[in-house]
Amino acid sequence: MKKLINDVDSVLVESLEGFAAAHADIVSLDEACRFVRRRVLKPGKVALISGGGSGHEPLHAGFVGSGMLDAACPGQVFTSPTPDQMLAAAQAVDTGAGVLFIVKNYSGDMMNFQMAAEMVTCDNATVLVNDDVAVEDSTYTTGRRGVAGTLIVEKIVGAAAERGGGLAALKALGNSVNNATASMGVALTSCTVPAAGVPTFQIGADEMEMGVGIHGEPGRRRVKIASADEIAAELAGAVLKDLSLQRGSEVILLVNGFGGTPLLELYVMVNAVHKVLAGAGIRAVRHLTGSYVTSLEMAGCSVTAYAADPATLALWDAPVHTPTLRWRS
């Protein structure tokens, strides 16, 4: 195992400390490293909290800041955070308007966020993200997995929260964005969890895992390596089929690297996905291209489309100031 680390047991804490120091203008780290929070809260705003296993950076801590999340709870690599982390985060960032939990659909995350929701004393609600169209049920889930589409939910709901949206409305918006978001990914190589020390799965030099999950869990099938155009046809095809989009529809397109894929290749994939969209009469009106929801150093990518409408496009475009996403209208 080749990694830039000191010790497998201290990877997460050291990484969080480096992260918090590098972005001290935006975030602060709870002393016990249980959560990352927005340094300056906005009183009266519904607080957005997400979290999940580490190893998917920049998700979620990279999205803490104005216009997106108020706190993120990191578990160990590919391991759910605990209810006490979520409870501590909720107590720290609730300013009276309540807390919205944004949770990727994994059994461990679901269970722990549910326990936290029962323990917190403030108003709270939960949005469950399950955008991965590759498989129904999987290694770690009942039902579809939550993957890269999570960042689209976090961005749009985050903007609506910043504008003063109430808890119930934000939950409804989150559910609506999730329902209009679909993703599917492919892996060319495995990743290696530091504590395991060996690759999560074995894959041949001429093979790829179609429909892979963001922990390297199995997808639809193991296939021979294909061209970017063929991969785009399968990934974007599955995504468009799930969304049942009519010709003339507009989408936000996220081509997401899993951590070990060069940007050079991700833009080849953008170009390839555009051909699929053009064939379906669909236009990508916003793009995000890069490694945003990763699986450590896994090579591969996912394609996510969100069926945008003018109101949520405006929320996507709204100012955001986080360690990773940063723009103004």
Q: Give the residue numbers annotated as catalytic, written as ranges.
A: 56, 215
Q: Which stretch binds a second copy (CB under 8 A): 85-93, 150-158, 238-246, 284-292?
A: 284-292
Nearest approach, Cβ of residue 280 and a second copy (Å): 16
Q: Which stretch binds a second copy (CB under 8 A): 101-109, 116-124, 161-169, 294-302?
A: 294-302
Give the CA distances from residue 232 to residues 150, 151, 184, 271, 300, in Å, rounded to whole numbers and listed in that order. 21, 21, 10, 9, 12
Residue 151 interacts with a second copy (CB under 8 A)? no
Residue 8 interacts with a second copy (CB under 8 A)? no
Residue 262 interacts with a second copy (CB under 8 A)? yes
Residue 278 interacts with a second copy (CB under 8 A)? no
Residue 223 interacts with a second copy (CB under 8 A)? no
**Residue 32 or 168 having the CB closest to a second copy:** 32
Residue 190 interacts with a second copy (CB under 8 A)? no
Nearest approach, Cβ of residue 83 and a second copy (Å): 23
Residue 196 interacts with a second copy (CB under 8 A)? no
Residue 274 interacts with a second copy (CB under 8 A)? yes
Query: Can you tell me which of 9, 17, 136, 137 binds a second copy, judged by CB under 8 A?
Result: 17
Per-residue H/E/C for 12-62: HHHHHHHHHHHCCCCEEECCCCCCEEECCCCCCCCEEEEEEEECCCCCCHH
Residue 261 interacts with a second copy (CB under 8 A)? yes
Nearest approach, Cβ of residue 58 and a second copy (Å): 6
How many chain residues are in contact with a second copy, going by CB under 8 A?
61
Which single residue is written with the structure tokens 């929070």? 37
Give the Cα separation of 123 and 114 in Å (integer).
Answer: 14
Which residues lie near a second copy (CB under 8 A)? 2-7, 11-12, 14-19, 21-23, 54-55, 57-58, 62, 77, 188-189, 205, 208, 225, 227-229, 231, 253, 259-272, 274, 284, 287, 289, 291, 294, 296-297, 299-301, 326-328
